[in-house]
Every structure is written in C-alpha cells, then in structure tokens.
Structure 1
Amino acid sequence: MKADSKSQRKRRDGQVTRERLIQATVEILSREGLGAVSTARVARDAGIVQSGFYAHFSSLEDCVVVAAEHIGNRIRETIREGLSLLREHGASDFDLVIAQYRRILMQLEAEWQFVELLLRYFREPSPLGRTLAAIQRSIRDELTHHLMALVKPLGIPDGGRPEAAFLADLMVNMLLSSVQSLRWEPSLNKELVAYLLTVETIGMVGRVFEWMTQQGLWPDPTASIANATESE
C-alpha cells in the first residue's frame, strides 16, 4: 500500500513538473519567440535542473509543440466565446462585432510572438509546422461553422460551406495581418483597426450573399417571404 502511495505521489509530482515546463515554454514563446527557447532556459524557468527536462520530454521540439497547442487553445477559446455571443445576439450588430474584434485583437497582440511563429512555420512539414497548421485549420473551422449557422435557415445547397470556408479564410488572414501591422506600426490606432475589420467583415458577408443571390446560386429570402405571404 505504501509503495502504491509513493508511486502515485511520484506521478503527481512528475505531472506538476511537466506542467511547469510547458508553462515556462509558453511564456518564453509568447514574450520572446522560438529563438529564445532552449532546454536550459525552460528548465531554469521551471525551477529544475537541465538534465531533468528529458524525464518529461524526449526533445525540445516536443515541448514546444505542446506549448504551441496550449497557446492555440487560448486563442481558439477567445474566438469561440466571441462567435457564441454573435450567434446569440446577432452577427450584424456592429457594436457587438467590433467589441469582439477588440477582444480578439487584444488576445492576439498578447500572443504576437505566437502569431509570427504561426505565419512563419505553419507550412513546414515538421511536428511544429503540423501543429500550427492544425491550429489555423481549427480557427478556420470555427468561423466556417459560425457562418454556416447564419445562413442555415435559407436552405442553401451544401449549407453554404464552400462560400463560408472561403470567407473564413479571408477573415483569418485579415486578423493575422492586422496583428502584424500593429506590431510593425506601434503607433497604429487599434480602434481604427477594429473598426475597419468590422466594416469589412459585415460588408463582405453582405456583398457575397447579394452576389450569390443575384446569380441564382442561393435562394432569395425576400422571394420566400413574399411567397409565404401570398399563400396566407
């Protein structure tokens, strides 16, 4: 019984140390970027000796991958919360949309080193590159599902997924480019950035919907309403 208790305590202590190593890596990545990450630095910041690092990770890259996943989860959660509010209160509410852009931009700015990491490595066929690509795809999927939910009542073929996914790609690229611009131009007005993102997002979705309707590719909601009124 005592041996089992000792073994359980050892596992718990090992998990705590592993979490400290991950958190140290997350903080270094967020503040200073990939170039500042080393086993010596991570171990020191986590409060263990360098040789102890390899009791928890087989390589520095493995640790960086897990840390990147943690940062990606934080960003995804911020976006998920914003999209949930938009679905609940209305995606065309300008004040609500700009408030969510402010919040997301603040989060991405705080993680700007991670954003640069994402832009630089997500196409590389390495474990880190694949992890970053998966994070970007998951953010894209969140936005795609949100946009599809908005047009679901219209009964659009394929749920409007191809168009929603394309719009999601544009929105992700706009966000990442905005963070880069804020980094490169420190005096750039953040409120202007949030405002322009909001104007472009609402306008872009509206223009796409209008064009698709004019081309007969999507049903015309006004016609549906008129037909329903006539039948009554």
Structure 2
Amino acid sequence: MSPKSAPKKAPAKAAVPARRTQAERRETTRRKLLDATIEALVEQGYARLTTVEVAKRAGVSQGALFTHFETKEELLAVAVEHLFPRIIQDFLAGVGARPSGKDRVGAAVDMLWAAYQRPELQAAIELYVAARTVPELQKALAAVDGPHRQNLHRVARELFPDVAATHPDFDDVVELALDAVQGAAVGGAARPEDPAHRRMLDTLARFMRVAFAPKD
C-alpha cells in the first residue's frame, strides 16, 4: 500500500493592493497638475502656457483641472508654492555638503545663486514679472509669497543661529541678500555668462560677513 500523499496546499492568493481613498486619488491628481504646470511653464513660458496643455500633460481633462483650481492664476500660484519647498531642500543640502569649517556665508550665497539658475525658478520669476500687469496673478502670488519669504528667513536662522540671536539687523540683511540675488538672476536671463555675476556674489558675501561680524 502506497503511503498517503501530503495534502496539496491551496495556491497563495495574490495580494490585492489597498484601494485608494477618494482623498488620496484627489491629492495624486492635484500633484500631477502642479508638476505638469511647472513643466509646461519651464518649456513654454507664461505667455504660451494654457490650461489645456497642463491638463494634457497631467493626463486629465480640462474640466477635471478646474475642479481643483478655479482659475489659471490660482493654478500657477499654487504650482509655485508646490515648487518652493523642493528648492529650499536642495539649497540646504548644497550648503550642508560643503566641507566643515569652510565659509558658510560664501556657501549660502553660492547655493542661493545656483537655486536661481534652475529653469523652474527662472520660470517662477517670469510669473512675478508678468504679475505687474495681471492683477489676478498678482493677487494669487501675493498669497503664497508672504509665507515663502517667512520660510526663507526661518532657513537663514537655522543656518546662522548665533548671528540671528544677536544681530538686530539680521532679517534686513537676509532680505537684502535675497533681493540682490533675485534681481541679478532677472538680469542674468539675458546675460547668463556675464563675469560680473561672480564679482557681485563675492561682493555680497563680503558685505554679509562684515554685517554679521560681532559688534564691539
């Protein structure tokens, strides 16, 4: 008599992926639209960007786009808001990657300039310039720019905690540095290889070192 064969095991059922909630699907679509907006803005510029093109790149209908954003201007402003944390994260990583003991002011100025050379941030600057004659865009950008500037000052305080705690003009110096680099970046769009940019950055770093020096 042959021995009993072992009972066959039932084939394992393939794991069924958890079904996403409506909120998760909505957030995924929203992110696709924001990424598509930045992509289209970089490639086409503000003047040629359309919501039809953004929806096409995101793989949704134009009607679906307007269930997330009421106007084109709101879409653009929120896309810029979506972009800013990524830029700041890369900026901090760049400063942190510099060898310890090196000049942190110089590193911060260099990385700030590098951030403003990124195509997506150049495209964001284009929106700010266009907002001068587009009140709806100006209003939408104003809603995101204030919190962004506050975040930049928070980052500066994290990079230079001792100076921030003791220097009464710290925020003013940071604001001046931001405006100087942003202004140079706007002019640099027409003169990207101008050696004057390097001299400006070196001068700005020297000014900040003097401004942040301990007071007698």
Q: TM-score, normalised by structure 1?
A: 0.66
Letter of the 1:130 counterpart = A
Match of 1:130 among 143, 158, 172: 143
- For 1:35 and 1:118, the matched residues in 2 are separated by 13
**1:114 CA displacement:** 0.7
Against the structure 1 CA distance between its residues 102 and 68, is the aligned structure 2 distance closer, same or farther, given a 3 Å change threshold? closer
What CA distance in whole angstroms lies between the structure 2 residues aligned with 1:70 and 1:6? Answer: 27
Judge conservation of contact 1:24–1:46 (CA < 8 Å) in 2. yes
Q: What per-residue deviation string (whole Å, max 9, x for no partner) do you get for residues 76-130 of structure 1?
A: 2233234445695343586x567535633433x55212123235549x7613222
Counterpart for residue 155 of structure 1:
none
Q: Which residue of 2 aligns with 1:113?
A: 123
CA contact (8 A) 1:25 1:42 kept: yes
Rate the CA distance shift 1:116–1:52 in 2: closer, same or farther, 3 A: closer
Give every structure 1 segment of 4 or more consecutive aligned residues whose post-TM-superposition deviation is greater than 6 Å. Answer: none
The TM-score normalised by the length of structure 2 is: 0.70
1:34 to 37, 46, 55: 46
Query: How has the CA–CA distance of structure 1 residues 110 and 55 changed in structure 2, closer, same or farther, with 3 Å as cutoff?
Result: closer
* Alignment of structure 1 residues 80-229 onto 2, 5 Å: 80-85=92-97, 88-91=100-103, 96=107, 100=111, 103-107=114-118, 109-118=119-128, 121=131, 126-147=139-160, 149-151=161-163, 159-160=166-167, 162-189=168-195, 193-197=197-201, 199-209=202-212, 218=215, 220=216
Contact 2:105 2:209 (8 Å CA) reproduced: no
The structure whose Rg is larger is: 2
CA contact (8 A) 1:29 1:113 kept: yes
SS at match of 2:170: helix
Structure with a larger share of its residues in helix? 1
Looking at structure 1, the residues matched to 55 and 115 of structure 2 have their Cα atoms a distance apart, in angstroms, of: 31
Assess if the C-alpha contact under 8 Å between 1:121 and 1:132 holds in 2. Answer: no
Between the aligned partners of 2:99 and 2:159, the Cα distance in structure 1 is 7
Distance 1:13 1:159, change over 3 A: same
| Percent of aligned pairs with the same amino acid | 17
Q: 2:51·2:62 contact (CA, 8 Å) conserved in 1?
A: yes
Tell me the amino acid that sits aligned with residue 44 of structure 1.
K
- Residue segments in structure 2 that go unaligned for 5+ positions in a row: 1-16
**Kindly tell me: are residues 103 and 127 of structure 1, through their superposed partners in 2, closer, same or farther at Cα, counting changes over 3 Å?**
closer
Unpaired runs of at least 5, structure 1: 153-157, 221-232
**Contact 2:55 / 2:61 at 8 angstroms: preserved in 1?**
yes
Preserved contact between residue 46 and residue 126 of structure 2 (Cα < 8 Å): no
Q: How many residues align?
A: 196
Q: Tell which has more relative contact order, 1 or 2 (C-alpha 8 A, sep 6+).
A: 2
